[in-house]
Amino acid sequence: MKTWVFSTESDGAAAPSALEALSKAREFGGELGAILVGAGSDTALAQLGAHGAATVLHGPQTASSAVIAAGIAQAVAAEQPDLLIFGMGTLDRDVAGRLSARLGKPVLANAVDITVGDGTLRVANEILGGSTLVVTESAGGSPAIVITRPKVFAAEPADGGAPAVTALEAPDVGHADALEVLSQHAETSEGPDLEAAAIVVSGGRGMGDADRFAVLNELAGLLGGAVGATRAVVDAGWVPYSLQVGQTGKTVKPDLYIACGISGAMQHLVGMKDSTTIVAINKDSEAPIFGISDLGIIGDVHTVVPALVEALKNRG
Ligand SMILES: Cc1cc2nc3c(=O)[nH]c(=O)nc-3n(C[C@H](O)[C@H](O)[C@H](O)COP(=O)(O)OP(=O)(O)OC[C@H]3O[C@@H](n4cnc5c(N)ncnc54)[C@H](O)[C@@H]3O)c2cc1C
């Protein structure tokens, strides 16, 4: 089994999704490598090596997805990997799609598990809000192209040393490369990163409006957590998209998730249902969010949340 894992680089670090996938892929045995698109910092390379990548194909940050996909396709023809694993990042998905077209292979997306047995690769993904698991066997021949959901595998370093680095080819792709990235913008926020936070306080339409949503910042601040939101709230313009949790937002897996005025639509649940402890506050006792909650508070968020804030302040 020869597996390659795709990684972008951010602030000199490898993508968490790549470290998660490498940790999982060590189970498959055989050769393990990574494709790194970015500056190629010592830290990023060391992380990939520590998580099991013996080799790294390095492509520059400035390369377009068309060129990266063409470079990977050339490397695939030469090295014949069996499995290519991508994360859910924008570049990951763009490159995976282009590679699928170049190689004539399907993409198995939204994977929550990958298993290899009797020479067959099987990919599991969840549908209907995680209530049904679909297992797909890859019958398209090598390499299988898989996109995994964030945080479904734990990133655990092994004893891997520094990987052998070679440059990813940059083939001429003609007009497919006729685009220029003029600038990149990283959204900044105070407090812990939403995807990494141990506590997430999320708000939904039940918070009423943007001003009243602000009390959640106070609650999250007191708990040392991050604020999240539903798509309804993001669509209403109360908070930026970077706070959206769910199918088309971020996937979080904190120790504690507090859902305030959130109904529990399946598209929201897929982004937070694996939280260790879920507390929901909703005035409707029939709200679906209570179906996956460890603790449910049937009440008005405008009463319960300020009372929680007060109690935490009094605790000192
Ligand atoms: C393709 C697609 C992708 C989507 N992706 C996402 C996604 O990534 N993330 C996401 O969140 N959604 C997503 N959605 C939208 C999703 O289907 C729901 O519409 C959305 O999650 C609902 O948000 P909400 O719970 O804030 O609002 P509502 O469903 O309107 O729920 C509001 C809740 O607040 C309660 N409430 C009202 N007032 C109070 C009060 N004073 N005190 C206590 N409770 C109160 C109500 O009882 C209700 O349960 C997607 C939809 C589609 C079609």
What are 52-63's pLDDT values in tens digits? 999 999 999 888
What are 251-280's pLDDT values in tens digits? 999 999 999 999 999 999 999 999 999 999
Tokens 């968490």: give the residue.
16
- The answer, yes or no, to whether residue 184 has pLDDT greater than 80, is no
DSSP string, 170-231: ----GGGG--------PPP-SSS-TTT-SEEEEE-GGG-SHHHHTHHHHHHHHHT-EEEE-H
The response to whether residue 204 sits with its C-beta less than 6 Å from ligand 1 reads yes
Locate the ligand 1 atom nearest the alpha carbon of residue 262 and give its number: 25
- The answer, yes or no, to whether residue 185 has pLDDT greater than 80, is no
Distance (Å) from CA 148 to ligand 1 centroid: 25
The response to whether residue 55 sits with its C-beta less than 6 Å from ligand 1 reads no
Cβ burial of 218 (10 Å; 0-12, 13-18, 19+) is middle
Tokens 């792709």: give the residue.
173
The band of 183, judged by pLDDT with boundaries at 50, 70 and 90, is confident
- The answer, yes or no, to whether residue 114 has pLDDT greater than 90, is yes
Interior angle at CA 213, CA 207 and CA 217, nearest 5? 135
pLDDT score recorded for residue 179: 80
- The answer, yes or no, to whether residue 205 has pLDDT greater than 80, is yes
Helices 16-25, 42-50: crossing angle, 10 deg rounding: 30
pLDDT score recorded for residue 82: 97
pLDDT score recorded for residue 245: 97
The band of 180, judged by pLDDT with boundaries at 50, 70 and 90, is confident
| Assigned token pair, 165 | 């680095």
pLDDT score recorded for residue 146: 98
Mean pLDDT of 234-262: 95
Which bin fits 264, alpha (ψ -120 to 50), beta or left (φ > 0)? Answer: left
The band of 3, judged by pLDDT with boundaries at 50, 70 and 90, is very high
Q: Which of 195, 260, 267, 278 to mutate to test the pocket of ligand 1 (most atoms within 8 A of CB)?
A: 267
What are 299-309's pLDDT values in tens digits? 999 999 999 99
The response to whether residue 163 sits with its C-beta less than 6 Å from ligand 1 reads no
- The answer, yes or no, to whether residue 144 has pLDDT greater than 90, is yes
Q: Please give the domain boundaries of the chain with CATH numbers for all domains.
A: 2-177 (3.40.50.620), 199-315 (3.40.50.1220)
What are 84-94's pLDDT values in tens digits? 999 999 999 99
Element containing residue 35 per DSSP (H, E): strand 31-37
Q: Which of 213, 248, 297, 308 to mutate to test the pocket of ligand 1 (most atoms within 8 A of CB)?
A: 248
Contacts (Cβ under 8 Å, ≥6 apart) of 163: 33, 34, 45, 48, 49, 53, 54, 55, 56
Mean pLDDT of 110-120: 92
Distance (Å) from CA 224 to ligand 1 centroid: 25
The band of 293, judged by pLDDT with boundaries at 50, 70 and 90, is very high
Torsion of CA 78, 84, 90, 91, to 10 degrees: -20
pLDDT score recorded for residue 72: 98
By alpha-carbon position, which residue is closest to atom 26 of ligand 1?
204
Locate the ligand 1 atom nearest the alpha carbon of residue 247 and give its number: 8
By alpha-carbon position, which residue is closest to atom 11 of ligand 1?
230
The response to whether residue 33 sits with its C-beta less than 6 Å from ligand 1 reads no
The response to whether residue 233 sits with its C-beta less than 6 Å from ligand 1 reads yes
The band of 181, judged by pLDDT with boundaries at 50, 70 and 90, is confident
